[in-house]
A and B are shown apart, each in its own frame.
Chain A
Amino acid sequence: MKNNTFKIPVTILLSAIACFAIGIYGALPWWSFVVTNFIIALAIPQKPLVSFLTGALGVGAIWAGLATGIDMANNHLLSSKVAQILPLNGSYVLLIVITALIGFLLGGMASLTAAYLRKA
Chain B
Amino acid sequence: MRLLPFIASAIVTVSLVTVLNVQLPIGKSKTPKLGYFLSPQQGFWKNAEKINTNFDAQVLAKDLKGKVDVYMDDRLVPHIYAENDEDAYFVQGYLHAQFRLWQMDFQTRVAAGRLSEIAGADKLSIDKFFRRLGMVYGAEQTEQMINETNPVMKATVDAYTAGVNAYLKQLSPENIPFEYKLMNYQPEEWTPKKTYLFLMFMSYDLTGRSATADLQLTNTRDYLGFDLFDKLYTNQQDSLDPIIPRGTEFAAASIHPVAPTNADFSYLHKKDSTAMTANATEAPVAPDKNNGSNNWAVAGSKTKSGRPILCSDPHLGLNLPSLWYEVQITTPTHSTYGASFPGSPAVIIGFNDSLAWGVTNAGRDVLDYYELKFKDSTQNEYWYNGTWKATTKRTEIIKVKDSADVVEEIAMTHWGPAMYDAHYQNPQSKGRNLAVKWTAHEASTGVETFYQLNRAKNTEDYLKAIALWKCPGQNFVMATKTGDIAIKQQGSFVARWDRQGDFIMPGDDSSYDWQGLIPIDENPFIKNPERGFVSSANQKSVDASYPYYLGTASSFPLYRGISVNKQLAVMSNITAQDMQALQTNNYNVFAAMARPVLMKFVQTEALSADAKNMVNKMNQWDLYNHPTSEGITVFKIIWDSVENAVWGDELAGSPIPLTKPEAYVLVEQMIKDSNFSVADDIRTNNKIESLKEQVMLGIENATIKLLQLEKENKLSWSAFKATRVMHLTKTDALSRLNLPIGGGVNIINATTETHGPSWRMVVHLTDEIEAYGLYPGGQSGNPGSPYYDSFVDYWAAGKYYRLLFLSKEKLKANEHTKWHIQFSKA
Q: B-contacting residues of A (Cβ < 8 Å)?
A: 20, 23-24, 26-27, 29-31, 34, 48, 62-63, 66-67, 70-71, 73-75, 77-79, 81-82, 84-86, 95, 98-99, 102, 105-106, 109-110, 112-113, 116-117, 119-120
Contacts and interface: CB of A to CB of B under 8 A. Distances in A.
A117 B34 CA distance: 28
A67 B13 contact: no
Interface string B17-59: 1001100000000010011101111111111111100000000
A55 to B, nearest CB: 10
A69 B174 CA distance: 17
B733 A74 contact: no
A74 B38 contact: no
Contacts of A120: 2-3, 6
A99 B38 contact: yes
A26 B173 contact: yes
A66 B45 CA distance: 9
A26 B42 contact: yes
A73 B46 CA distance: 12
B785 interface: yes
Given A84-B733, A116-B9, A71 B17 contact: no
Nearest to B42: A30
B182 interface: yes
A119 B38 CA distance: 33
B783 A81 contact: yes
Contacts of B784: 74, 77-78, 81
9 contacts: A77-B48, A77-B784, A78-B47, A79-B45, A82-B44, A110-B13, A112-B13, A116-B2, A120-B3
Nearest to A83: B733
B5 A116 contact: yes
A16 to B, nearest CB: 13
A27 B172 CA distance: 8
Interface residues of B, number: 45
B740 interface: no
A interface secondary structure, majority: helix
A92 B783 CA distance: 15
B10 interface: yes
A38 to B, nearest CB: 8
B734 to A, nearest CB: 6
A102 B45 CA distance: 14
A102 B39 CA distance: 9
A109 B13 contact: yes
Nearest to B38: A99
A26 B41 contact: yes
B interface secondary structure, majority: helix
B45 A77 contact: no
A26 B379 CA distance: 51
Given A24-B41, A73-B50, A74-B50, A81 B734 contact: yes
Contact of A30 (B3, B13, B35, B733): B35
A29 B6 CA distance: 24
Given A26-B172, A106-B16, A79 B48 contact: yes
B184 to A, nearest CB: 12
Interface of B: 2-3, 5-6, 9-10, 12-13, 16-17, 20-21, 31, 34-36, 38-51, 172-175, 178, 182, 731-734, 783-786, 788
A78 B40 CA distance: 13
A82 B39 CA distance: 13
List the 7 closest pairs (A to B, CB-CB), nearest first.
A26-B174, A78-B784, A84-B733, A23-B41, A66-B40, A116-B6, A74-B48
A6 B42 CA distance: 32
Contacts of A102: 20, 34-35, 38
Contact of A109 (B2, B9, B42, B731): B9
Contacts of A74: 48-51, 784
Given A74-B48, A74-B50, A75-B51, A106 B35 contact: yes
Given A85-B182, A85-B731, A106-B17, A23 B39 contact: yes
Q: Find the residue from B10, B40, B44, B175 having the highest chain A CB count within 10 A.
A: B40
B610 to A, nearest CB: 39
B5 to A, nearest CB: 5
B40 A99 contact: yes
Nearest to A65: B40
Contacts of B12: 109
Q: Find the residue from A70, A86, A102, A119 having the highest chain B CB count within 10 A.
A: A70
A67 B42 CA distance: 11
B43 A30 contact: yes
Contacts of A119: 2, 6
Contacts of B10: 113, 116-117
Nearest to A99: B38
A106 B17 CA distance: 7
B784 to A, nearest CB: 3
A73 B12 CA distance: 35
A67 B40 contact: yes
Contacts of B31: 86
B9 A73 contact: no
A9 B627 CA distance: 61
A109 B11 CA distance: 10
